[in-house]
């Protein structure tokens, strides 16, 4: 019961804060809340406090969590220009995949090894078959030879590793499954750090499902 009251109390605070910051001018005031795009959302604070606009980092920055959002060399070049503009020296691109997907990323970003670090994934094919670890390690080593300097982003939000073929309802294997031990040990041998997206607390999903519609109506 106390947990229930706590969730409602937190939601009320979020709504109150949201109402204070969004009861304000937006670039498109006639647009319905559920149609307003994030890029067009321009809240104006009601607080009278000094505002410091930081357009560029004082020191070189490393973006430690990015993904292969671009698909062409020209888009990669634009990405680099964006990094230069705000002071990002290097971006860690978590491909989170092996095989052709990782190979394509190498071809796309490999021209700029001083600006992009590529992280591969783990090949889960045949995870329920004999020899799974040996095959996964062989592909891991191949990606490492191609330039992978880390492994990620792996994803296990509580129901199992995403990316396993057929892993829709059963979610058969977690990161601490014994079948993963030799693969993780090989990552350590190759000095490959691993990034894992773990599960959020269960109550967050329910709270957000409640808050979003209410906040939209309040707006």
- pLDDT reported for residue 16: 43
- pLDDT reported for residue 42: 84
- pLDDT reported for residue 118: 97
pTM for the whole thing? 0.70
Cβ partners under 8 Å of residue 16, min gap 6 = none
Domain edges within the chain: 59-218
Token digits for 76? 């990669």
Write out pLDDT tens, residues 161-194. Answer: 876 654 444 457 889 999 999 999 999 999 999 9
DSSP string, 15-78: HHHHHHHHSS--S-TTS-GGG--GGG---------------S-SS-EEEEEE-----SHHHHHH
- Cα separation, 192 vs 195, in Å, equals 10
Q: Band of the pLDDT at 38, cuts 50, 70, 90? A: confident
Cβ partners under 8 Å of residue 17, min gap 6 = none
Determine the CATH number of domain 59-218. 3.20.20.140
Helices 202-218 + 2-22 axis angle, to 10: 40
């Amino acid at each position: 019961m106390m947990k229930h009251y706590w969730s409602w109390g937190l939601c009320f605070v979020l709504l109150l804060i949201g109402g204070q910051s969004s009861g304000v001018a937006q670039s498109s005031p006639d647009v319905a809340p559920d149609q307003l795009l994030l890029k067009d959302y321009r809240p104006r604070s009601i607080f009278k406090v000094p505002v410091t606009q930081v357009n560029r980092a004082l020191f070189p920055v490393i973006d430690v969590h990015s993904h292969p959002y671009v698909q062409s060399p020209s888009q990669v070049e634009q990405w680099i220009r964006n990094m230069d503009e705000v002071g990002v020296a290097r971006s860690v691109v978590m491909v989170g995949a092996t095989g052709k997907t990782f190979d394509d990323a190498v071809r796309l970003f490999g021209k700029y090894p001083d600006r992009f670090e590529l992280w591969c994934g783990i090949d889960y094919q045949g995870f329920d078959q004999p020899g799974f670890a040996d095959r996964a390690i062989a592909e891991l080593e191949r990606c490492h030879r191609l330039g992978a300097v880390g492994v990620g982003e792996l994803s296990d939000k509580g129901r199992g590793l995403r990316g396993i073929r057929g892993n829709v309802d059963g979610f058969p294997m977690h990161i601490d499954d014994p079948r993963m031990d030799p693969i993780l040990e090989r990552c350590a041998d190759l000095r490959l750090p691993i990034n894992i997206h773990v599960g959020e607390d269960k109550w967050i999903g329910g709270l957000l499902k409640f808050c979003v519609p209410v906040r939209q109506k309040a707006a």
